[in-house]
Amino acid sequence: MDFAFHTVAVSGAARAGLLETAHGPVETPTFMPLATTGTVKAMTADAVRETGARIVLGNTYHLMLRPGAERVAAFGGLHRLMDWPGPILTDSGGFQVMSLAKLRTLDRDGVTFQSHLDGSTHRLTPARSVEIQHQLDATISMVLDECTPFPATEEEARRSMELSLRWAARSKEAFRQRPGYGLFGIVQGSVFPELRAASAEALVGIGFDGYAVGGLAVGEGQAAMFAVLDATVPGLPGGAPRYLMGVGTPDDLIGAVQRGIDMFDCVIPTRAGRTARAYTSRGVFNLRNARFADDVGPLDPTCRCPACTRHCCGYLHHLFKAGEMLGPMLLTWHNLTYYHDLMQGLRAAIVAGRLDEHAAALRAGWKTEDAP
Amino acid sequence: MDFAFHTVAVSGAARAGLLETAHGPVETPTFMPLATTGTVKAMTADAVRETGARIVLGNTYHLMLRPGAERVAAFGGLHRLMDWPGPILTDSGGFQVMSLAKLRTLDRDGVTFQSHLDGSTHRLTPARSVEIQHQLDATISMVLDECTPFPATEEEARRSMELSLRWAARSKEAFRQRPGYGLFGIVQGSVFPELRAASAEALVGIGFDGYAVGGLAVGEGQAAMFAVLDATVPGLPGGAPRYLMGVGTPDDLIGAVQRGIDMFDCVIPTRAGRTARAYTSRGVFNLRNARFADDVGPLDPTCRCPACTRHCCGYLHHLFKAGEMLGPMLLTWHNLTYYHDLMQGLRAAIVAGRLDEHAAALRAGWKTEDAP
């Protein structure tokens, strides 16, 4: 099985695609639930499959520290460990080193840091990051990059982007090609269109199996994010998948799909599910709100998940008030189902040639003040 | 459908039975998982069904305070609220009033107490307890009783037992008979054989659909508990189910089945599952123990649950070390499966006429120092 991406239909810049991997196919656009430490929080692997998700995201930084990449390899890889035979994408660890680790020292060749768990010292280089992802048996590995802080001056953003390019080339050298496995480059350049275009061009010159847009959802706002996509996507090859890292709300995802993005990951649906926030066809609701205490109706009458088909809002409210684990379990299940069905709905609309009407109808459905 | 209990086979004092209820049949001996606040902690209702459990236990004290009995009734009852169409037994609330509530005042007619949640004042009488259980739509209701403190003098135990008998009669008067629903009496009398026998005789005189043995597992020890069963069970009618409340370890359950008990509930398998303790055919293990960090083998090779068939011990260890909810979820699933299969194995041995050999083989399998 080759690692391959086929475009099934297009609608403007948007594509309906099929990603083929060593661990099975993925229809795009797709949302990848976070399985940070080797589990989608509050979900069994079977439950994740039932949401419709076909690819999940593991976290190199967390897994290298605990249980350890060598240990995951000894267990037969992350797929086997977490009972997820489907595709797994792993990030490079660079983002978490910058956001979680203590005493970071960045140099031209990599980054040295102390674990946030026990203070032990570790080093990530492009080659080591790719090796760890190999040990985890990642279907899709990511190059090590520096997620440029925001805001940054153009000069800071250029230096950071050029460092990431150097690391991208080294990551490519270190990556061991295997049938159905892939390595993605990451476009950087902050909010500067010329830097983004230059980053994309250079990465395409190196040649990757897919291209991610990184360094966004760091405070720049949706308009700036969309402007970066407009400046970046045209420079990426049509035959490779495009992945917008760490994004976002349903509204963000719709706009990004309209701009040609195929893959997403974000903490929102899982974290929101654990904190009683539900994403629905009618908007965002906080199930802790007292108005749900006596609500005998379903959370989202259009949803096929167990929280919506088996229970009423009053029960979900009760579970969160009582501090019961089943609240986070059911609401995570719901939010991931909503995100998956949102992506599948966009895909169907692209195929049907009516993406913009579908997007407008989705947005019109969000009735709450607390819109997604 | 009448509420009925049929004995399928006997082996000494032990019985293999079938309980028929308005919400479906239950094979006995059976273990009832706790669904204290309207959820078996860390489990979806589907997962509970997959363990094999056919009857769960709801808690009157917790549910009357939150979400409230009237609210549960408005939701269509506890079965509908928690998506559990099968039988539900509810306790009377008396035990939790004594162990959890603040400022309790016991009188001849009932108990007045303050909620441990918000300090609000409530009163439970035999009639009110039975009414609440009716509002919850309990398949099996329990009489309000006083769980005699341990230790107690014979005179204290007699006074307490006689109060419980008076309340049992009032509970019976208040109970609304409906096809397939039942009310159980509760034998008290502490560790005094004559009091236990007198309590049983008086309760049988009032007449109930089943008989529970209460006031045990409060510190008296297994030998004293078994002695109470030996003094009590012969006074209970063979045609009614017998329920040992709040018990216990696998070893307790085996001994109690050998003494003629049909039904059990206990916090052990669910609470242990949340704290990394696994009950298995080889004994009890704490999955946090470092010796499991590199263990690629299954927790219990004889077990059919997802924790054992889909994952290795090293993964379970990792989940608990990382504080992931999936650890409690999987280990609760495992422990409930172990308890269910333990009961089903005892039932099959009773039918096959080899209960004592089977019990000895189970006990011989527990190899760890930390035996269950």
- 3-class DSSP assignment, residue A108: coil
CA distance B232 to B227: 9
Active-site positions of B read 91, 265
CB contact under 8 A, A311 and B83: yes
**pLDDT mean by block of 10 residues, chain A; 372 residues:** 92 98 98 98 98 98 97 98 98 91 92 94 97 98 95 97 98 97 98 98 98 96 98 98 98 98 98 98 96 97 98 98 98 98 98 98 82 42
* B185/B243 Cα distance (integer angstroms): 10
A-chain residues near B294 (CB < 8 A): 71, 74
Q: State whether B75 and A314 contact (CB < 8 Å).
A: yes
Share of chain A above pLDDT 90, in %: 96
Report the pLDDT value the prediction gives residue A367, as an integer from 0 to 100: 80
The pLDDT score that the predictor gives to residue A371 is 42
Among B44, B306, B324, select the one facing A326 at the smallest CB separation.
B44
Query: Which residues of chain A does B318 touch, with a Cβ-Cβ cutoff of 8 Å?
Result: 37-38, 66-67, 81
Tell me what ipTM this predicted complex has: 0.97
User: C-alpha dihedral over B223, B229, B232, B235, to 10 degrees?
Assistant: -140
The DSSP call for residue A61 is H
Q: Predicted confidence band at B25 (pLDDT cuts at 50, 70, 90)? A: very high
- With beta carbons under 8 A apart, name residues in chain A contacting B39: 319, 324, 326
Closest-CA residue of chain A to B84: A310
Taking CA–CA distances from B67, the nearest residue in chain A reads A318
What contacts B133, CB < 8 A, 6 or more positions away?
B60, B90, B92, B141, B142
Count of pairs with CB atoms under 8 A, one residue in A, one in B: 109
pLDDT tens track for B55-99 = 999 999 999 999 999 999 999 999 999 999 999 999 999 899 988
Q: Which amino acid is at A320?
A: F
What is the predicted pLDDT for the residue at A98? 87
Contact yes or no for B315 and A75 at CB 8 A? yes
Rounded to whole angstroms, how far apart are CA atoms B89 and B60? Answer: 10
Taking CB atoms and an 8 Å limit, are B39 and A67 in contact across chains? no
Q: Which residues of B touch A43 (CB under 8 A)?
A: 326
Contact indicator for B1, B22 with CB cutoff of 8 Å: yes
Measured at the CA of B99, the angle between CA B215 and CA B214, to 5 degrees, comes to: 15
A299 has a chain B CB within 8 A of its CB: no
For the residues B251-266, what does the mean pLDDT come to?
A: 98
Kindly state whether B337 is in contact with chain A, defined as any CB-CB distance less than 8 angstroms: no
pLDDT of A1 reads 60
Alpha carbons A308 and A361: distance in angstroms, whole number: 21
Beta strands in chain A (DSSP E): 4-11, 14-21, 24-28, 30-32, 56-58, 88-90, 102-107, 110-114, 121-124, 140-142, 182-187, 210-213, 242-244, 263-265, 277-280, 283-286
Q: Can the peptide bond before residue A67 be classed as cis, meaning omega within 30 degrees of 0? A: yes
- Average of per-residue pLDDT across B261-268: 98
Using a CB-CB cut-off of 8 Å, the residues of chain B touching A41 are: 324-326
Decide if A294 and B71 are in contact by the 8 Å CB cutoff. Answer: yes
Instruction: Considering only the beta carbons, identify the residue of A71, A318, A325 that sits closest to B294.
Output: A71
Orientation of helix A193-206 relative to helix A154-174, angle to 10°: 10
Confidence at residue A101, expressed as pLDDT on a 0 to 100 scale: 84
Residues from chain A contacting residue B296 (CB–CB below 8 Å): 74-76
Task: Please report the pLDDT score of residue A103 as a whole number.
Answer: 86
Residue positions counted in chain B: 372
Look at residue B1 in the predicted model and tell me its pLDDT: 60
Pairing of strands B277-280, B121-124: unpaired
C-alpha–C-alpha distance, residues B32 and B338, integer Å: 13
| Beta bridge partner(s), residue A111 | A106, A124
B37 → closest Cβ in A37, A306, A322: A322
pLDDT at A60: 97
Contact state of A83 with B311 under an 8 Å Cβ cutoff: yes
Contacts of A280 (CB under 8 A, 6+ apart): A299, A300, A303, A334, A338
A73 in reach of chain B (CB within 8 A): no
CA distance A321 to A316: 9
Give me the pLDDT at residue B103, please. Answer: 86
If we measure between CA atoms, which residue out of B74, B91, B85 comes closest to residue B45?
A: B85
For residue B40, which phi and psi values (nearest 5 degrees)?
A: -75, 115
Q: Does A313 touch chain B (CB under 8 A)?
A: no
Enumerate the residues of chain A whose CB falls inside 8 A of the CB of residue B311: 81-83
Rounded Cα gap, residues A341 and A357, in angstroms: 17
Interchain contact A38–B (C-beta under 8 A): yes
Q: Is the pLDDT reported for residue B370 higher than 60?
A: no
Residues of A in contact with B100 (CB under 8 A): none
The C-alpha of A37 sits at a distance from chain B's nearest C-alpha, in angstroms, of: 8
Q: Categorize the per-residue pLDDT at B371 as very low, low, confident or very high, splitting at 50, 70 and 90.
A: very low
Q: Where are the alpha helices (DSSP H) in chain B?
A: 45-51, 60-65, 69-74, 78-81, 94-99, 126-136, 154-174, 193-206, 222-232, 250-258, 268-274, 306-309, 313-321, 326-352, 355-365
What is the pLDDT averaged over residues B215-220? Answer: 95
Q: Which token pair is A2?
A: 């080759």
Q: What is the DSSP letter of B368?
A: S
What is the nearest CA distance from B95 to chain A, expressed in angstroms?
20
Other beta carbons less than 10 A from residue A52's beta carbon: 18
Quick check: B290 contacting A, CB < 8 Å?
Answer: no
- Within an 8 Å CB–CB cutoff, is residue A157 touching chain B? no
CB A144 within 8 A of CB A167: yes
Query: What is the model's pLDDT at position A372?
Result: 42
B46 at A interface, C-beta within 8 A? yes
Angle B153-B154-B157 from CA coordinates, rounded to 5°: 85
Say whether residue B241 is in contact with chain A using an 8 A CB cutoff: no
d(CA A117, CA A109): 24
Nearest CB to A325 within list B81, B319, B325: B325
